[in-house]
Every structure is written in C-alpha cells, then in structure tokens.
A and B are shown apart, each in its own frame.
Chain A
C-alpha cells in the first residue's frame, strides 16, 4: 500500500509539527508513506470564496502529485472534503475522480482503512475535542447532534486508546468554531465571536489542551487563546496520537 501524504499549505508553513506527527504516526503503523515535494494548496480558499473557476491550476497540480498513490492521506478534514467534493480537470476527469475516491482524512484512514485498535501513545492531560464541521458533517467522522442517529466518533475512538488522556465533556458538542476559511476575515466580527464562544466552552469544562482533526479550526482558536493569555494549548490530533 503506497500512501501519498498531502500536507495542506497552511500546515506546511505554520504547523509543520502536525505534519511531522502525521508522517511519523503513519510510519509507526507500518505504512509506506511518500511526500510529493511539489504540492502547494488544494484550492479551497479560492473555491469557498466563489472562485472555483480559478482552481484549475491547483487541481492539475494536485492530480499530478497524487495520482499514482493507492491512498492520499491528510491531517485536515476541510481540505480533504474540498478535494473529495470539488476536484475536477476537464482533460483528466477520470484521474480527478480517482483521486477524489482515494483521498482520506488521517483519522478516517486510521479507523476505516488501517482499522487501528491499539495506539501506543500516552498523553496524561484533560483534552477537549473540537469536532471540526467539515470533518464531522462533511466526511462523517462522527455522528452529529442534529441527526437522530446512533452516536459514534472516529476521533474519540482513537483518543480513547491514548494512555492517561481524559476527554472533557463540552456543553455544545459540535458547534462550529467560526474559522470558515476567508470567512474569518470577511466576517471578522462573527468569526471572532464564534471562536471566543467555542474556546470558552472548552475552558469552562476544564480543558488543558484542545485538539481536532483539522488544524485550521485550531489555528483560529489558538489565536483567540493567545489573545486571552490563556495557558491552554492547541494540538493536532496526530500530535496526541503520536505522543509518547
């Protein structure tokens, strides 16, 4: 099984530790991981801003970089969802479709493909899990409070395997943090307020760390935590699953 590691642009530039943890975790689990060095961005910031028609170059590049792999794995639910839903290339439509079918967010790859039952990790802290919307509602990483459904959570399934880790219970289990890509600046007032409220729920319930399967939500919440001079830190779920 040949796996291509897709590291979203902002993770590459600002959160290399999340990507390093993803790589090491996959290697630890015996996966044959490759990192195509010419990758840039999936194009989501443009597409979500209404400029999907400008994403042709990003799409072509993505297909070139990742077509050869059996699976494509990324530590970001939101970018994965964009590829899954919107990757097109008129000249290589079947390749585009192929890529869309084999792209996985890290957590779902671990639970659904590798079927990981035991993770050798230890993280003796109180952790709040932020259910990033695109992962949760888009990729169905966990059940959603709005639906009348059997509850499940793939990230929780993995976090429960980490020694010493205590998951805190949130008052609103799956509310959006307000990042939303370019929404965070276009709608600055609402975005910041949503972020503040999201962070407050974690703080009120005693979190020492906030984790998620999407670094972008964490980046937003980290900005708010730091502005509040809070000691609570954010960590990508890969960093916790890789912690020893």
Chain B
C-alpha cells in the first residue's frame, strides 16, 4: 500500500504557490478553449446524449460486439489476442517482439500501457522503448509518469524541458525556445521511426462492424511508427468498441473539442489490415473492466473516451497536479476508475473532490462522475478502507446530532470555547485554522434567538 496519499501529495504540490497558479491558469485556458468549441456547436448537448446512448448500447452488448469485432478483424488479417489483466497483456507484447528477435520498440501514446506499466516491464526484459508522443517522450526522459491523459507533461515548464533536452538530446544549455526544442525532438524521433522495427499504438475507437480501429493523434506519431514497422501491435481496453462506422463521427466531433478545443484531431488514423509483409496485432485487455461492468453504480465510468476534459475543469486537479492521484489516470475520472483496480490503494481518490459537479457537466459521454465519487465513498467506508479515528469521529457526530438536546449542548460548548478559549481551536492541530480564521461565535444561536423572539 502506498503510504503517501492525495492530501499529502497535494500539500507538497502547494508548497510552490506560483507553480500552482501557473498550472491552474494553463489548464483553465484549455477549459476555456473547450467551452468556446462546445458553444460553437448548437447541437452539442444532443451530441453528448447520443454518444452516451451509443456507449450504453455498447456496454449492454459488449460480449457480442467483442465477438463481432474479433471475427471481422481476423478476416481483415489482424491477429487478435485476449488479455485478462495487465500481466497477460505485457507478456503478449514481449513474446511478439521476442518471436521476431526485436529489441527496440517505438510507442505512440496509450494510457492502457501506462495502466499496465508496460514500459518498465519491457525495459526489464531488454526491450528499449521510446515514446513518440512529444509530451510522453518528455516525461519518459524525466523518468516520470504522465500527469494528464491528453497533456502528459502539462506540469512541466518549458525551461525544465530545455534542461531535459540539454541532458538527453544534446541541445545547448539554457535553451527553452519551444521552436528549437520541438525541432530537436523531431529529429530525434525521426531517427527512431526510421530505425525501429516494431511499433505499439493505443486505440481510441474500435469498430465492431468492420473490425478496424482508429487512433487519434495531433502529431501523426502513431502513423509514423506503425507505417514503418514490421510489426504493429495495438493495445486496447475492451470498452473502446463502438458498434458501427457511422457512430464514429459522433465521437470524433466530441473528443478533441472536449480535450483541447480543436474541432478534430490533426490525425484520425484508421487501421484495418496489415500492409504486405507487415504483421498487425491487437490485444483486447480486460484488466478489471468486466468487474467494473458488473458494478451497477460504476459501469458508466467505462463510457470514458479519455478526453481529459474532467481534469481540465476540475478545480482540485488544477491545484493538486496529476501526480497527486498516484495512478495512471488522474483527475475525477481516474478517481472513479482506480478504486475498481485496487480499493485499498486508491481509497483516498474519491475523497479528493468537493463534489462540485463540473466534471459531470463537461463529460462528452455524460458519465455521472461526481455522483460516482459520492457512491465510491460509501463503498470504500463500508469495505473498511478508512481509519478508526475517522469512524470514531463520525460515530460521535451521529451521537451528537441524533438528539436535539445533545446537539444544542454541543453547540453551546463549541461557541463558548471559540469565544472564551480561542487557543483551543486557533492552533496547529486545527487544519481549518492553518490558512483560515475561525468563524466568530455569536452570543446566541438562531434557535435561542427564536425562543426569545417568536
């Protein structure tokens, strides 16, 4: 069990207030771009509803769609693999590379492989992996996990990126001009694309009707990797299916508007069959998804199309940073997906929210995120993933509040204490007091006033 949890990690993040302001402003700017893009489409809410209903259909018929997809993909010449969990997924990737005696792989962005910790696994087994998404490459050089699902290195300033490029890619010391850094990355990655024989991509959408899959990138890196490689492996969570090709437009219109405010990703690449002499594999990964499907209150979370809008809008995420969620997927959506993987490890995440509801509103597939956060809290406590102190405090609260006499007495004592013995509350032990003054204690409560004045 990880001992450092969201409150501690965000306390550390908040030690540098300037940085928090910058992180918050950057993400708010993206949220504002999203708003502009959404408001530019009068049928936006209809699109969201349509997407949500298509996904409802997918989740209710997942079994059949997976079988249909497998058959069509195989007919197209794609080799289909099934992985029950992260370990199986990683083993499949490794064995495919070993079979062809390949020791180097170029990877396009895939949150699923982050979830499975594929990079570490492959590196331990002698495979050199290079992430080709620029943001992913930057965090890879920094030996950090991504802090955002769409903007993996959004927590890094350009000066820090300049330093990393200086250390790893040979740029001059002190250079932080984005133009120069991007060109350096371009040359470095071009070399990678040309020399690697294997490529792995994620999957944004897989179409049951046709057996093809779609990968969305802004940098074209998935195409560059896959087109030049002898073997293209695609890793996909089983929930990424959509029934028909005609449904794709709904999601493509929603995805990037929600993510970055762009009308569409620069590249929406369709992969249907391997080119001559190439091998194409797809790994369909469960890793807890069928468990979540079986949880009536939480199955909706599987509708997620990984746009990251809930993170950009989340006032908590913006002020705590992606790493504070200590999970591959951060933010509100991560906080409802993670407890399904390990309820003990991620018991803190559903509490990292004020339940303001903004996440639910921006979600392009209408996941009831903040309601699920509330529901997870109930499950986590019921399953015993809480502290004895908290349970005791809550029991005392129930005891006090369940009797009007006890409640009134406690109120009186509380007000008296604040007024006459302020040092008992205005101290370090009271977390409220660290950055806020206590409310003033009035001389009488409303109920006391009412008794006299009614």
With A40-B401, A57-B402 known as contacts, the answer to whether A187 contacts B435 (CB < 8 A) is no
Residues of B1-47 contacting chain A, CB below 8 A? 6-7, 10-11, 13-14, 17, 20, 24, 28, 35, 38-39, 41-42, 44-45
Q: Label chain A's interface by main secondary structure.
A: helix
Residue A149 lies at the interface, judged by CB distance under 8 Å to chain B:
yes
Interface contact A50-B381, CB-CB below 8 Å: yes
Are B316's CB and A146's CB within 8 A?
A: no
- For A190, give its contact among B14, B414, B437, B449 (CB under 8 Å): B14
Of residues B13, B354, B391, B397, which shows the largest number of chain A Cβ atoms within 10 Å of its Cβ? Answer: B354
Contact between A189 and B14, CB atoms less than 8 A apart: yes
Do B407 and A41 touch across chains, with their CB atoms under 8 A apart?
A: yes
- Asked, given contacts A133-B354, A147-B45, A187-B10, whether A49 binds B377 with beta carbons under 8 Å apart, the answer is yes
Number of residues on chain A facing chain B (CB within 8 A): 72
The verdict on B63 contacting chain A, using a C-beta distance below 8 Å, is: no
Complex interface bits, A135-155 against B, C-beta within 8 A gives 1, otherwise 0: 001100000111111000000
Checking A58, A176, A220 against B356 with a beta-carbon cut-off of 8 angstroms, the contacting residue is: A176
Q: Interface centre among B362, B402, B414, B454, by most A CB within 10 Å?
A: B402
Tell whether A48 is near chain B: CB-to-CB under 8 Å: yes
Q: How far is the CA of A23 from the CA of B42 in the complex (A)?
A: 43
User: Do B361 and A146 touch (CB < 8 A)?
Assistant: yes
Q: Which residues of chain A from 121 to 168 have a CB within 8 Å of any chain B CB?
A: 133-134, 137-138, 144-149
Are B361 and A137 in contact, with the CB atoms below 8 A? yes
Cβ-neighbour of A176 out of B39, B315, B442 (below 8 A): B315
Binds B, one of A12-20, A97-105, A112-120, A202-210: A12-20
Q: Which among A11, A13, A184, A219 has the greatest number of chain B C-beta atoms within 10 A?
A: A13
The chain A residue with its CB closest to the CB of B38 is A148
Q: For the complex, is A76 an interface residue (Cβ under 8 Å from B)?
A: no
Q: A194 on the interface (CB 8 Å rule)?
A: yes
Confirm or deny: B358 has a beta carbon within 8 angstroms of a beta carbon on chain A. Answer: yes
> Assuming the A-B contacts A37-B404, A41-B407, A193-B14, are A186 and B362 also in contact, with contact meaning beta carbons closer than 8 angstroms in the complex?
no
Task: Sort chain B's interface into a size bin.
Answer: 35 or more
B232 at the interface (CB under 8 A from A): no
Q: List residues of chain B with CB within 8 A of the CB of A50.
A: 351, 377-378, 380-382, 386
Contact flags (1/0) for B424-442 with A, using CB distance below 8 Å? 0000000110111111111
Distance of B51 from chain A, by nearest CB (Å): 14
Closest to A219 in B: B439
Residues 335-389 of B at the A interface (beta carbon under 8 Å)? 351-358, 360-362, 374, 377-378, 380-382, 386
Considering the complex, give the chain B residue whose CB is closest to the CB of A187.
Answer: B7
Within the complex, the shortest CB–CB distance from B451 to chain A, in Å, comes to: 7
Shortest CB–CB separation between residue B363 and chain A, in angstroms?
A: 9
A49, A144, A175, A195: which contacts B394 (Cβ < 8 A)?
Answer: A49
Q: Which residue of A lies closest to B9 (CB)?
A: A189
User: How distant is the Cα of A39 from the Cα of B401 in the complex, in angstroms?
Assistant: 9
Query: Which A residues are in CB contact (< 8 Å) with B440?
Result: 14
Q: Is the CB of B39 within 8 A of A148?
A: yes
- Inter-subunit contact B401/A16 (CB<8 Å): no
Determine if A187 and B352 form an interchain contact, defined as CB atoms under 8 angstroms apart: yes
Of B38, B41, B398, B450, which one neighbours A54 at CB under 8 angstroms? B398
Complex: A73 Cα to B391 Cα, angstroms? 31
Q: Is A53 an interface residue (CB 8 A)?
A: yes
Chain A residues near B378: list those with CB within 8 A: 50, 52-53
Asked if A58 and B45 make an inter-chain contact with CB atoms under 8 angstroms apart, the answer reads no
Nearest Cβ in chain B — how far from A5, in angstroms? 9
The answer to whether B436 touches A187 (Cβ under 8 A) is: no
Tell me which residues across on chain A come within 8 A of B377, comparing CB atoms: 48-50
Q: Is B445 an interface residue (CB 8 A)?
A: yes
Q: Which residue of A lies closest to B397 (CB)?
A: A46
Q: CB distance B356 to A186 under 8 Å?
A: no
- Chain A residue numbers with a CB within 8 Å of B20 are 193
Q: Which residue of B lies closest to A228 (CB)?
A: B437
The answer to whether A192 and B434 touch (CB under 8 A), given A43-B401, A146-B35, A172-B28, is yes
Contact B402 A40 (CB under 8 A): yes
Say whether B432 contacts A223, CB under 8 Å. yes
CB pair B6 A184 closer than 8 Å: no
**B7 (CB) vs chain A CBs: closest residue:** A187
Inter-chain CA distance A180–B450, complex, in Å, is 29
Contacts of A184 in B (CB 8 A): 432
Which single member of A175, A189, A223 contacts B10 (CB below 8 Å)?
A189
Interface flags for B309-345 (1: CB within 8 Å of A; 0: not) read 0000101100110000000000000000000000000
Task: Judge whether B178 is part of the interface by a CB distance below 8 angstroms.
Answer: no
A224 CB-CB contact with B under 8 Å: yes
Chain A residue with Cβ nearest B35:
A145
CB of A79 within 8 A of chain B? no
| Most-contacted residue by chain B among A14, A137, A180, A227 (CB, 10 A) | A14
Minimal Cβ-Cβ distance residue in A for B412: A13
A24-83 residues at the B interface, CB under 8 angstroms: 35, 37-41, 43, 45-55, 57-58, 61
Contact of A7 with B7 at beta-carbon distance under 8 Å, contacts A137-B361, A176-B358 already known: no
Knowing A41-B401, A50-B378, the reply to whether A7 touches B446 (Cβ < 8 A) is yes
A interface vs B, CB < 8 Å? 7, 9, 11-17, 19-20, 23, 35, 37-41, 43, 45-55, 57-58, 61, 133-134, 137-138, 144-149, 172, 175-176, 178-181, 183-197, 219-220, 222-224, 226-227
Instruction: In the A-B complex, list the 9 residue pairs whose CB atoms are closest, starting with the nearest.
Output: A223-B436, A180-B354, A57-B402, A50-B381, A50-B377, A146-B361, A137-B357, A192-B435, A133-B356
Partner-A contacts on B (CB < 8 A): 6-7, 10-11, 13-14, 17, 20, 24, 28, 35, 38-39, 41-42, 44-45, 313, 315-316, 319-320, 351-358, 360-362, 374, 377-378, 380-382, 386, 390-391, 394-395, 397-398, 401-404, 407, 411, 414-415, 431-432, 434-442, 444-447, 449-451, 454
* 4 additional contacts (CB under 8 A) given A146-B361, A176-B358: A40-B402, A49-B351, A53-B382, A187-B10
- Cβ contacts A to B, 14 pairs, < 8 Å: A15-B439, A19-B446, A40-B402, A49-B394, A133-B356, A133-B358, A137-B358, A148-B44, A148-B45, A187-B352, A188-B435, A190-B7, A190-B316, A194-B316
